[in-house]
Amino acid sequence: RYDKIAAIVGTLALSMSWGVSTALGQTVLTVTHSSPADSHFGEAAIAFEQSLEAQTEGAIDVVIQRLDNEREALESVQFGTQECAIVSAGPLGNFVPETRVLDVPFMFDGYDHARGVLDGEIGQELLALFPRYGLEGVAWMENGFRNLTTGSKSIVSPDDLVGMKIRTMENPIHIAAWQAAGVLPTPMAFSELPPALQQGTVDGQENPIPVILANNLDMMQQHLYLTRHVYSPGIFACNPDFVAGLDEQQQAALKTSGAFAAAANRKRVEKDELVGIETLRDRGIDIVEIDDILAYRDAMASAYADFEAEFGAERLQAIRDWS
């Protein structure tokens, strides 16, 4: 009798921690992301939901929620208080340190280059490291190339950035690069950014076009500099024990649905990059193309010795030379 009670309690505990089972016997999979539904992450989450629910014939019920604090999202996935999350790689390096190599500024020439590295050996080897850190890397996602925006202060050359307070993600590589350029980087979660811009606690921020568009950051900023200084990957991560608890077919469906999500995400990034700059110009923000992009890289140059020491000059070069 006691064994029976223990078994019931055990089952209840399991269904409370893993994808709460509903009356219909469904497994609930909550996936959070940090943008509105109508965005590069929002569309990815919807593609994932449609694919996984169809493939598992409703046995898995996907619930999409917004959570702007990406560090918290990854912590919850690691602890198992939520099943999955789509996040930018901003805080990812604090969980899977090897992924920080992707955060080095001016590593990728464009989207084909970055996607090639993520889809190729380097990206796949990095994904294989996730379980070591209590995460399952289902698929690489994409946030986009980051651009600088400022409020009332304007910039002609990187020299003008010296002493400016720029909000960065909680990402040690980005912070080191901006520090080298003389900026006072102010790391904070995205949820804290709008009030910081509105109250003038920071002079500016940096984010990809899809994020600026979807979150109306242009309403809080006057200038957008197309610096494209760093590629910002994203990740679709799940809790490894949750994944292991799914049957084989469901695990395969999770993987292919992650790939659908990544495809939808990239398609939306492309669309936003294509029409987003004109849309933002029409909405009134001053858009500045950068003629001398290398000047920005040179301004960050003193950080590169540390990046080479951390990742190895050869590894950095292999990523730069990918073709």
The binder of ligand PAF chosen from 56, 76, 88, 186 (CB under 6 A): 88
User: Is residue 69 part of the contact set for ligand PAF (CB under 6 A)?
Assistant: no
Cα separation, 320 vs 229, whole angstroms: 14
Site track 156-195 with ligand PAF (rule: CB under 6 A), x = hit: -------------x--------------------x-----
The residue nearest ligand PAF at its CB is 190
Select the span of 34-42, 133-141, 258-266, 272-280 touching ligand PAF (CB under 6 A): 34-42
184, 165 in Cβ contact below 8 A?
A: yes
Closest CB to ligand PAF among 41 and 108?
41
User: Is residue 136 part of the contact set for ligand PAF (CB under 6 A)?
Assistant: no
54, 1 in Cβ contact below 8 A?
A: no
Beta bridge partners of 149: 205, 224
User: Is residue 84 part of the contact set for ligand PAF (CB under 6 A)?
Assistant: no
Sign of the alpha-carbon torsion through 174, 122, 245, 3:
negative
The binder of ligand PAF chosen from 27, 30, 34, 221 (CB under 6 A): 34
Q: Strand pairing of 223-238 and 136-150?
A: antiparallel
Closest CB to ligand PAF among 134 and 233?
233
User: Closest separation between CB of residue 25 and ligand PAF, Å?
Assistant: 34
User: Closest separation between CB of residue 244 and ligand PAF, Å?
Assistant: 28
**Could you tell me which residues come within 8 angstroms of residue 43 by beta carbon, excluding any fewer than 6 positions away?**
264, 265, 267, 268
Nearest alpha-carbon partner for 90 in 169, 156, 11, 22:
169
Interface residues toward ligand PAF, by CB under 6 A = 34-35, 41, 70, 88, 90, 143, 169, 190, 207, 211, 232
